[in-house]
Chains A and B, each alone.
Chain A
Amino acid sequence: MLEIKNLKAQIKDKTILNGVNLKVNKGEVHAIMGPNGSGKSTLSSVIAGNEDYEVSSGSITYEGDDLLEMAPEERSHRGVFLSFQYPVEIPGLSVSNFIKTAINEKRKAFGQENISAKELLQLFKEKCEMLNIDKEYLSRSLNEGFSGGEKKRNEIFQMAMIEPKLSILDETDSGLDIDALKIVANGVNSLKSSSNSIILITHYQRLLNYIVPDFVHILKDGKIVMSGDKSLAQKLEKEGYSFLN
């Protein structure tokens, strides 16, 4: 589904990714861990199409096509989803209108009709229940005045509504208390299927107790320096990053 080859990226002359290689197949869950400043968030931003970062070399292929050629909205239409580490607040735009428009923009891109009000309501109801969200929250302004946990839950709510093929969860677990973490993890698990893939970016092994990864990668200095199965995360939790040296 996703193949990253020798990816190098920089922001304003500062090289952050220095030759990343990663292959994610359908139905797989990958966890990317690594110390602060190793390039985890940059990698997710580049996959989502943030134009602040410049790709200097390498390639990203998504479903056989050049992902780097696509505008951020096109990537989204094709099924790429980034759960932001710091979701933005948009006062004056309601959660429901935001999500409805996101769904319809994708439909429009494929020449489909807008989602019907009935269908949308049903979907809202279903996903609100899944993530234990009060329906009242749909009429609130997007992320405005939301707590850190609410913002993260809202990201997963959007993911549930949009039903992406490749989801990148950038530190979705940070800022969540244990109950919220369980709800979010259960949500992600129920969205998981054999046809979609998930990349989890996290600092903590804790999340991986709830969402079990097929692969764990360690990113350091802009490169993946070690890959393994879930036991690698446990080792990391015990010994810290020092064992890499």
Chain B
Amino acid sequence: MLIEEIKKHVNDTDLTSTQKKSLDYFLENGFPTTKDEDWKYTSLKKVLKRNYCLKSYEFELNDEMIQQYSLGFKHKIIFKNGKIYSEPKILGISIKKTRDLSMPKNSALCYLNEAICENTYEIVFDENLNLDNPIEILHFINNDNDYFLQLRTKITCGSGSNVKLVERFCNIGKNNTLINSCMHADVKRNGFFEISKLQSYNDNTHTIDNTLVDQDRDSTANVHTFSFDGVFIRNNLNFYQNNENCTSNMNGITIIDKSNFVDHHTFVDHKFQNCLSNESYKGVYFDNTKGVFNGKIMVRPDAQKINAFQSNNNLLFSDSASIKTKPQLEIYADDVKCSHGCTIGQIDKKSLFYMRSRGFSEKTAKGLLTFAFLIEVIEKLKTKEIVDYAKTEIAKKLSIEKDLL
């Protein structure tokens, strides 16, 4: 059992008092089960069944491997099994390893992460630092055993700074890996923070991706999540608007096939007035895939003049594919504008015939109709390399030439 392995592992390590407390919490509560409301449709049972080890493993990394996973940005922060491997030399960015770092938590998995993660990093972007190009965060992962890996990063986006990140987990090994990642972004006053998560994993990778964003006054935070491959992906994305005039944008494109599974749980906590949140997730499900979307928006009593928009639209391409989608709005203020909408549908037959009668093959017609369905989200992306990545992956999934998009 994994719990036994965890207990054994901590016996050999010195835990700080915070870590001990977190461990106790985890051991008391255990891994989430489908009895927990937030995990109702997402069972970890199968994922947890393997004999994972918690010990890291040394492996070689070369430029070729890095290039294979990189979108080609100049500056990269590279980790090997969670341990820093290389960092960019840019004035105004500091990366340091820390041990005792508490973060907001949204499930027992975050407590576990706090208790047993051995490589916690704090990446600080100085005040008024203005980065033109995104920085890539590449996590290379490999082990000679099935591996349960904790990743833990705190990002401080200094006041008035402009930070864009691209994050990718690259499991280059053949063994099964379960990644439990916690990222806490602290976006200071008037800061701009953006992260694009590229979820193109191999068939041995299972991920639980916790992203927690704290926002101060006048700040903007954008999180773009691209889920294309991976047998099991659970994303927990939380925004906490801790002062006035915050903007939180969440965009998601999910296209999965085979028997893959993706679950997006998002939460926006509107605590102050004059804030905005905008959420748009689109999903395309082939074969025997399963999807879950749960978007919770909380508008607290003092949070007047809030605009909160949410939409989740899904296309099912097979009778055996399914999506469970649920908007969840809790509004305690009276002067707010909130909207939400979920749709599940199939490719429109009339449109398909129209296109075929103009000479489009069925594949091309379906592909272009699907791309047209996704375009609203793609148009929100401002970085050329990211748009290019998305188009490449989408074209691959739809089996059409990328030039058509």
Contacts and interface: CB of A to CB of B under 8 A. Distances in A.
A97 B373 CA distance: 15
Nearest to B353: A50
A91 B372 contact: yes
A77 to B, nearest CB: 6
B361 interface: yes
Interface string B338-375: 00000000001111011111111110100011011111
Contacts of A73: 356-357, 359-362
For chain B, give the interface size range: 20 to 34
Q: Which among B355, B359, B360, B368 has the highest number of chain A CB atoms within 10 Å?
A: B359
Interface string A69-80: 001110111000
B404 interface: yes
A82 B360 contact: no
A49 B374 CA distance: 28
Q: Secondary structure of the B side of the interface?
A: helix
A93 B368 contact: yes
Contacts of B350: 88
Contacts of B372: 90-93, 141
A76 B359 contact: yes
A48 interface: yes
Given A82-B357, A105-B359, A88 B348 contact: yes
Interface string A189-231: 0000000000000000000000000000000000000000000
A88 B356 contact: no
A48 B351 CA distance: 14
B356 A49 contact: yes
A72 B353 contact: yes
Contacts of A102: 358-360
Interface string B256-292: 0000000000000000000000000000000000000
Interface in A82-105: 82, 84, 87-88, 90-93, 97-98, 101-103, 105
Contacts of B361: 73, 105
Nearest to B362: A73
Given A102-B360, A158-B358, A162-B358, A90 B353 contact: no
B376 interface: yes
Contact of B357 (A75, A90, A93, A97): A75
Interface of A: 48-52, 71-73, 75-77, 81-82, 84, 87-88, 90-93, 97-98, 101-103, 105-106, 109, 141, 158, 162
Given A52-B349, A93-B369, A98-B368, 18 more contacts: A48-B357, A71-B356, A71-B362, A72-B356, A73-B360, A73-B362, A76-B358, A91-B372, A92-B372, A93-B371, A93-B372, A98-B355, A101-B360, A101-B364, A102-B358, A141-B372, A158-B358, A162-B359
